Amino acid sequence: MDILTPNDLASIKRSVDGGTEKQRETVKEILADVQSKQDEALYHYTNKLDGASLSELRVTEEEFQQARETMDAKDIDILKEAAENIRSFHEKQVRQSWFDTNEDGTVLGQKVTPLDAVGVYVPGGTAAYPSSVFMNVLPAVVAGVDRIVMVSPPSEEGILPAGVLVAAEIAGVKEVYKVGGAQAVAALAYGTESIQPVDKIVGPGNIYVALAKREVFGDVDIDMIAGPSEIVVFADDTAKPDEVAADLLSQAEHDERSSSVLVTTSETLAKAVAEEVDKQLEQLPRKDIAQASIRDFGAIVLCNSKAGAIDVVNSIAPEHLEIMMEEPLGVLGSIKHAGAIFLGRYSSEPVGDYFAGPNHVLPTSGTARFSSPLNVDDFVKKSSVIYYSKQAYEQNADKIARFARLEGLEAHAKAIEKRKDDES
Amino acid sequence: MDILTPNDLASIKRSVDGGTEKQRETVKEILADVQSKQDEALYHYTNKLDGASLSELRVTEEEFQQARETMDAKDIDILKEAAENIRSFHEKQVRQSWFDTNEDGTVLGQKVTPLDAVGVYVPGGTAAYPSSVFMNVLPAVVAGVDRIVMVSPPSEEGILPAGVLVAAEIAGVKEVYKVGGAQAVAALAYGTESIQPVDKIVGPGNIYVALAKREVFGDVDIDMIAGPSEIVVFADDTAKPDEVAADLLSQAEHDERSSSVLVTTSETLAKAVAEEVDKQLEQLPRKDIAQASIRDFGAIVLCNSKAGAIDVVNSIAPEHLEIMMEEPLGVLGSIKHAGAIFLGRYSSEPVGDYFAGPNHVLPTSGTARFSSPLNVDDFVKKSSVIYYSKQAYEQNADKIARFARLEGLEAHAKAIEKRKDDES
């Protein structure tokens, strides 16, 4: 790994895939097709793109049962414990409706209401991601969303991975469809004969899924579109080089475009980690991916001062930040931009990927400057509630009418004054 | 106004302006121009589109002073009182960082941090909207945003309306630029020599502003893109027809595409309101706008039952909902989708536009199904905080590593196990 200074910061690349013009055209075509031909289009694209010829889109009770029987009981227990941790952390985020009263009779507040229906996209491919099911579904469950629908592209044999189905069942999702890609997003946004539309679509997917979500945004809500995974390890010389290296590599194995960066003031640590990364790389089954990722998007930034290092961390605004320092808690207040912050030696990033409870759906590509981990707030909306008593009205009517006229809106003033005319 | 039944609901139109291909091209051109030519492009477009030839973009202290001197002192007092009400309501929304501890030494929480920098777009045109300044700026102020920048297109004389500048000053905004349109959005998103970039852009604008916001979304955050204003009045026969009519018209005067709908189970009220609307229309200075709006987007929906009427209201998911019924509070729990809910006779919608305190930036076009009024949460982001003690690590390491391997991610398992190897 290259050792850089903060001045080289601009050379730390992050990859954001905006898609090609051709991909955008394809997505628009699929969206239009699903809107006009509905289920027929879903079967067509599932056959064409996933190679699966289905007779029904919805996952049956038998398929759930088969999935349960396929899985090791010990794995199921771990999934259940993880789900419990995730549910418990998200339950602490739940907000109540509230109101505030004034002696003049005014009541003002916010009514918090869960969304009616949410769609969760679960990517297909070789690896089954039960953790992705939990992280996207459970905040919606905790928020009180009535209908949660899952979609995922089937294998050529027309089935979904056992881990995904078992996780869905543990999370309490009963409505699962074997459809993926832009066609699944279209079905969730606009509905078909089989799939009723939803109000919000969450969950990661390939570039076609991302482009489709961007396209339907506004008609329905979507979550942030995720880029490749990222980690910054902020460490001093109390950190162990082999542990730092292992954590950097755990991001690098995700994707050739993942970014793994060490920020430190310790030259000794910098050099030792660089060596360790090379050594540990050799032992990884996903070595090729991790190696490419480290080469193209990995870096070690050596800083002169702790303050300078903190600036580097904030300017990167990483998805994951590990603080492996003597007093990690003392640094927390200086971290302004990061999706998830892991404190101390035993809080390795994978702890948060699966098990601890906080969400692993996190802002990438520097969007931690303005966005948050997926959370319960993403599955509720607020309505303002306004009550003016007669007394509050009488005290303020003239001022409100005058304000309306200041903005040139006479009917607004009249609506206020109308109550005066008719007082009885 | 036409009297419809719930079956005619589909005929209640709402207008969403997605822009033309040509407008989208223009916006892309402007965005590219500002990114390459920066300030030069801002001066160029301000000259070309607003007809103002400026020597400086930033509003000076003298201009603020002139604005103050131009305005009636009584109007300034009303603005100040409104700002105080708005600030006070938003202060009640502020959330604290929180954490939760476990006896095994686990600490999990959410750190709440305000955004660094926010840009507020204030539309130009004939009417000055100080209320728009307050509603967009004050939630950011309350959230603790450090830098709040305002942009607004100048008149041909190169100045901004006094009301807008005075409101900016009351809200505490010092950094104001005389630039509007897509060029202002580009400057806020990407920065120029004069204008440092921001992390989020809020505030309404014309179609070019809306398209530009949609285009820069992802690089920076944006608020929801607003459609024309809407009201649903849900009333029984205790409501006064002239007051209902006045409230419908107060929305209709905003825009020819505004939507005003009465939902009721009372045929008597329906007929009386239809008459009153025609009568009151005659007295409005903005009659032409209101008339077109009522004709194209106004409706009275007569329902058989209260439950049916509630379904109609929820299926419209209106921006503004007035409940003018004998017991408005009893209906509140049944309302699932509405931006702002006004309860009872004295809570006319304009009360919330300017003065009461809740935000007037509200979800339109049915997006109240999944979005909220602009609020303090829109100007902060959360970071997850995760601390595992040695004990917590030891209790869970095997389970986490096994979960990682279940998902095929060996380096994740290794990062966890690495702590075990090196235990000392």
Residues of A in contact with B250 (CB under 8 A): 409, 411-412, 414-415
Instruction: Looking at the complex, report in whole angstroms how far the Cα of residue A190 sits from the nearest Cα belonging to chain B.
Output: 14
CA A87/CA B73 separation, integer angstroms: 55
CA pair distance B150, B78, nearest whole angstrom: 22
Return the percentage of chain B with pLDDT > 90, whole number.
81
Question: Token match 């005075």: residue?
Answer: B166
Residues of chain B positioned with their CB less than 8 A from the CB of A340: 383-386
Give the per-residue SS3 of B333-373.
CCCCCCCEEEECCCCCHHHHHHCCCCCCCCCCCCHHHCCCC
- Cβ–Cβ under 8 Å, residues A122 and A151: yes
Closest alpha carbon within chain A to B380: A370
Query: Residue A108: its chain B contacts at CB < 8 A?
Result: 89, 356-358
The per-residue pLDDT for range B277-305, each reduced to its tens digit, is 999 999 888 899 999 999 999 999 999 99
Are residues B346 and A392, on separate chains, in Cβ contact within 8 Å? yes
CB–CB of B100/B383 below 8 Å? Answer: no
- B368 to chain A, any CB pair closer than 8 A? The answer is yes
The answer to whether B257 and B296 have CB atoms below 8 angstroms apart is yes
Nearest to A386 among B163, B200, B342 (CB): B342
Model confidence pLDDT, tens digit, residues B168-183: 999 999 999 999 999 9
> For residue B48, what are the contacts with CB-CB under 8 A and spacing of at least 6?
none
Among candidates B351, B387, B421 on the partner chain, residue whose Cβ is nearest the Cβ of A386: B351
Residue (of A404, A354, A420) closest to A133 by Cα position: A354
Question: CB count, 10 Å around CB of A327?
Answer: 12
Q: CA-to-CA distance for A348 and A358, rounded, in angstroms?
A: 13
Three-class secondary structure assignment of B117-162: EEEEECCCCCCCCHHHHHHHHHHHHHHCCCEEEEECCCCCCCCCCH
pLDDT at B424: 45
Picking from A135, A284, A351, A374 by the largest number of B CB atoms within 10 A of its own CB, the best residue to mutate is A351
Q: In Å, how far is A131's CA from the nearest CA of chain B?
A: 8
CB contacts, 8 Å: B350 with chain A? 400, 404, 409, 412-413, 415-416
Burial class (CB in 10 A: 0-12, 13-18, 19+), A324: buried
Minimum CA–CA partner of A145 in chain B: B370
Query: Smallest Cβ distance to B358: which of A350, A371, A386?
Result: A386
Yes or no: say if B337 and B368 are a contact pair by the CB < 8 Å rule: yes
DSSP one-letter code for A224: P
| B131, two tokens | 């209320």
Does the beta-carbon distance from A332 to B111 stay under 8 Å? yes
Q: Rounded to a whole number, what is the distance in angstroms from the first to the last CA of chain A?
A: 81
Q: What tokens appear for B38 in the block?
A: 């920066």
Give helix then strand counts, H and E, for chain B.
16, 14
Interface of A with B in 21-80 (CB under 8 A): 74-75, 78-79
- A63: closest CA of chain B, how far (Å): 20
Cα A117 to Cα A133: distance, rounded to the nearest angstrom: 16
User: Which residue of A339, A351, A413 is in closest CB contact with B383?
Assistant: A339
How many residues can be counted in chain B?
Answer: 424
Residue A392 contacts B, CB cutoff 8 Å:
yes
A181-190 helix and A207-216 helix, angle to the nearest 10 degrees: 20
Q: Which residues numbered 93-112 in A keep a CB inside 8 Å of some CB on B?
A: 93, 98, 100, 106-108, 110-111
What are the angstrom distances between the C-alpha of A197 and each of A32, A38, A220?
15, 12, 9
Residue B58 phi, psi dihedral angles, 5° rounding: -80, 135
Q: What is the pLDDT of residue A38?
A: 97
Q: Are B186 and B30 in contact (CB under 8 A)?
A: yes
Q: What integer pLDDT is reported at residue A424 of this predicted model?
A: 45
A17: chain B residues, CB-CB within 8 Å:
none
CA–CA separation, B82 and B163 (whole Å): 13
Low-confidence spans in chain B with pLDDT less than 50: 424
Query: CB-based burial of residue B48 (10 Å sphere; 0-12 exposed, 13-18 middle, 19+ buried)?
Result: exposed
> CA–CA distance from A28 to each of A214, A215, B63, B308 (Å)?
11, 8, 48, 37
Residue identified by tokens 């001062």 is: A305
Q: What single letter denotes the amino acid at residue A42?
A: L
Q: Which of residues 303-342 of B touch A (CB under 8 A)?
A: 328-329, 332, 335-342
Residue B337 bears catalytic tag:
no
The residues of A annotated with a catalytic role in the active site are 319-320
Phi and psi angles of residue B174, each rounded to the nearest 5 degrees, phi first: -110, -20
Backbone angles phi, psi at A182, to 5 degrees: -60, -30
Task: Provide the residue-wise pLDDT of chain A in tens; the chain has 424 residues.
Answer: 888 888 887 777 776 677 889 999 999 999 999 999 999 999 999 999 999 999 999 999 999 999 999 999 999 999 999 999 999 999 999 999 999 999 999 999 999 999 999 999 999 876 668 999 999 999 999 999 999 999 999 999 999 999 999 999 999 999 999 999 999 999 999 999 999 999 999 999 889 999 999 899 989 999 987 888 899 999 999 999 999 999 999 999 888 889 999 999 999 999 999 999 999 999 888 899 999 999 999 999 999 999 999 999 999 999 999 999 999 999 999 999 999 999 999 999 989 888 999 999 999 999 999 999 999 999 999 999 999 999 999 999 999 999 999 888 888 898 899 888 655 4
Which one of B217, B341, B418 makes the best mutation probe of the A interface by having the most chain A beta carbons within 10 Å?
B418
8 Å CB contact of A346 and B107: no
What DSSP state is assigned to residue A9? G
Q: What is the pLDDT of residues B371-402, one digit of tens each?
A: 999 999 999 999 999 999 999 999 999 999 99
Q: How far apart are CA A297 and CA A320, in angstroms?
A: 15
Contacts of B354 in chain A (CB under 8 A): 400, 403-404, 407
Across the interface, do B221 and A280 touch by the CB < 8 Å criterion? no
pLDDT of residue A33: 97
| Whether A240 contacts chain B with CB within 8 A | yes
Q: Give chain B positions within 8 Å (CB) of A336.
A: 113, 116
φ, ψ for residue B98, nearest 5 deg:
-145, 160
Taken in order of first residue, the domains within chain B and their CATH numbers are 3-16+227-356 (3.40.50.1980), 21-94+108-222 (3.40.50.1980), 388-421 (no CATH)
Spatial neighbors of B180 by CB under 8 A, at least 6 apart, are: B46, B49, B50, B121, B123, B124, B151, B152, B153, B154, B205, B209
Radius of gyration of chain B measured on its C-alpha atoms: 26
Q: CB–CB of B351 and A404 under 8 A?
A: no
- CA gap B246, B249 in Å, rounded: 5
* Calpha distance A147→A116 (Å, rounded): 6
Report the DSSP pairing between strands A147-151 and A107-114. Answer: unpaired
* Closest alpha carbon to A411 in B250, B199, B272, B366: B250
Chain A: closest CA distance from residue B106 (Å): 9
The answer to whether the beta carbons of residues B395 and A345 sit under 8 Å apart is no
Indicate yes or no: CB of B406 within 8 angstroms of CB of A75: yes
Torsion of CA A288, A289, A292, A297, to 10 degrees: -160
Task: Name the A residues in 117-136 with CB < 8 Å from any B CB.
Answer: 126-131
